[in-house]
Amino acid sequence: MQVEKKEALKNLIRSLHEGADLEKAKAKFKELFGKVSSDEIARIEEELVNEGMPREEIHRLCEVHLALFKESIEKEETSAPKGHPVNILMEEHKILLEFAGTLKEVVGKVKEAEGLATSKDDVERLGNILEHLRESESHYLREENVLFPHLEKHSVTQPPAIMWMEHDKIRQIEKELFSTFETRSKMDFQSFTSNLGKSAVALSEMLSSHFYKENNILFPTAMRVIGSLEWVEIRKQFDEIGYCCFTPEPAEFVVEKITAPSFVQTIPTAAISLETGSFTEEELESVLNTLPIDVTFVDKDDTVRYFSQGKDRIFVRTKAIIGRKVQQCHPEKSVHVVNQILESFKKGSRDVAEFWINLKGKLVLIRYFAVRDKNGAYLGCLEVTQDITEIKKIEGEKRLLDWK
């Protein structure tokens, strides 16, 4: 997009945020621009945030932006073959909107009844619909944990962030729905149907607005900037998380229209590369020493190979034990139990052994885990020791937003 055109569009959006008339802005948009692509809209909003406009403000007036660009973006049809991640998400949108519509319809029928006893069948239908909505969490998780990170790698950060904000709003509405339904026997019938009806309407409106934005801005942007090889990897990761609503076609698509280069992750020099990422040696050692647990690794030949060095280690470990047989690290009276545990791990009859003891006023949990490769072959034993004294006292909830 030309710099002059981009600045004019940004100024038009700024004027809307300052209270300009929408219809006049739409007329000016048609006169000056005619058509703007979804990814151009995404980039403009990106720049506005970088220039100081709060993300919450962008989100608050998102509907106004859509009204401004509506005719332009609706000319840009999002097309993805069956089995493609975008096609899967759009199909789920259709089904979830149907669930939301059915939910409102059934709630209306329940309202017409005299009470829970006379609306038993419809209440059962409500339960089934709400169960589908619970399962739809995988839809949002796939976007947040797979699609959004890939967009961010291509410098598209604000639209995913705004969509995630809307996901949380959807979750809150669904939480209210679930809570109302689960506590129905403790509420009077009128309050139950009234609360359920309000939440059902709110969910339907929220999903309709949210899915429109994704279908017409987020997904077309993704199709433009994400490369073919990335889509194959995205589909694999979608499969790992799982699906809701329907079972998608096998991943046998070829994205011929996409010409954007696939993102190539840069790995630090001298990094230890793993399947899900990489560390430098210093990072890996520091991570292991930062874990709120003590770990010791014994290989398949019962030889001690490694132990972490956290600042509050529970049991003493010294470098002298490296290369020593694990049996020699235990008193004679317990060696036979150590051997039994290791033997059960090697045979494959057990994978975990757990114990807990009181030690100097602390409650200490000691767990042994069989370490196996992808084919199930035994590689060794991991001992994990943890002080759970304070953990045992935890009650209720403390969420991320409660942190001070």
Q: What is the pLDDT of residues 127-172, one digit of tens each?
A: 999 999 999 999 999 999 999 999 988 988 888 988 999 999 999 9
What pLDDT does residue 277 have?
A: 87
Are residue 343 and residue 320 in the same domain, yes or no?
A: yes
**Paired tokens of 317:** 């470990």
Of 33, 55, 74, the last residue of a domain is 74
Are residue 99 and residue 224 in the same domain, yes or no?
A: yes
Of 23, 55, 74, the last residue of a domain is 74
Q: 55-67: buried (b, 16+ CB within 10 Å) or exposed (e) per residue?
A: eeebbebbeebbe
Are residue 233 and residue 100 in the same domain, yes or no?
A: yes
- Note whether residue 278 is domain-resident: no
- Note whether residue 132 is domain-resident: yes
Are residue 309 and residue 339 in the same domain, yes or no?
A: yes
- Note whether residue 279 is domain-resident: no
Are residue 230 and residue 157 in the same domain, yes or no?
A: yes
Instruction: Give 285-340 pLDDT, tens digit per residue.
Output: 999 999 999 999 999 999 999 999 998 889 888 888 899 999 988 888 889 999 99
- Note whether residue 36 is domain-resident: yes
Highest mean pLDDT among 90-104, 183-197, 241-255, 271-285: 90-104
Please tell me the total count of domains within the chain: 3
Are residue 91 and residue 31 in the same domain, yes or no?
A: no
Are residue 114 and residue 69 in the same domain, yes or no?
A: no
- Long-range contacts at 251-256 (CB < 8 A, ≥ 24 apart): 251/83, 252/83, 253/80, 253/81, 253/82, 253/83, 253/84, 254/81, 254/228, 255/80, 255/81, 255/84, 255/228, 255/231
Are residue 33 and residue 91 in the same domain, yes or no?
A: no
Which residues are 380's β-sheet partners? 299, 371
- Note whether residue 142 is domain-resident: yes
Residue type, 233: E
Residue 325's CATH number: 3.30.450.20
- Note whether residue 399 is domain-resident: no
Question: Does residue 239 carry a pLDDT above 90?
Answer: yes
Are residue 150 and residue 198 in the same domain, yes or no?
A: yes
- Note whether residue 383 is domain-resident: yes
352 burial level (CB within 10 Å; 0-12, 13-18, 19+): exposed
Residue 180's CATH number: 1.20.120.520
Which residues are 387's β-sheet partners? 364
Are residue 224 and residue 141 in the same domain, yes or no?
A: yes
Would you say 261 and 255 are in contact if contact means Cβ atoms under 8 Å apart?
no
Q: Which domain holds residue 62?
A: 3-74
Using CA atoms, how far residue 145 sits from 8, 46, 237, in Å, is: 34, 20, 9
Instruction: Give 220-237 pLDDT, tens digit per residue.
Output: 889 989 988 899 999 999
pTM of the model: 0.68
Of 241, 264, 279, the last residue of a domain is 241
Are residue 114 and residue 230 in the same domain, yes or no?
A: yes
Q: How many CB atoms lie within 10 A of CB 69?
A: 24
Find all residues with CB under 8 Å of 7, minimum gap 6, and list them.
none
Would you say 91 and 124 are in contact if contact means Cβ atoms under 8 Å apart?
no
Task: Map residue 355 onto helix, strand or coil.
Answer: strand
pLDDT band at 257 (very low <50, low <70, confident <90, very high): very low
Find all residues with CB under 8 Å of 53, minimum gap 6, and list them.
14, 17
Are residue 98 and residue 229 in the same domain, yes or no?
A: yes
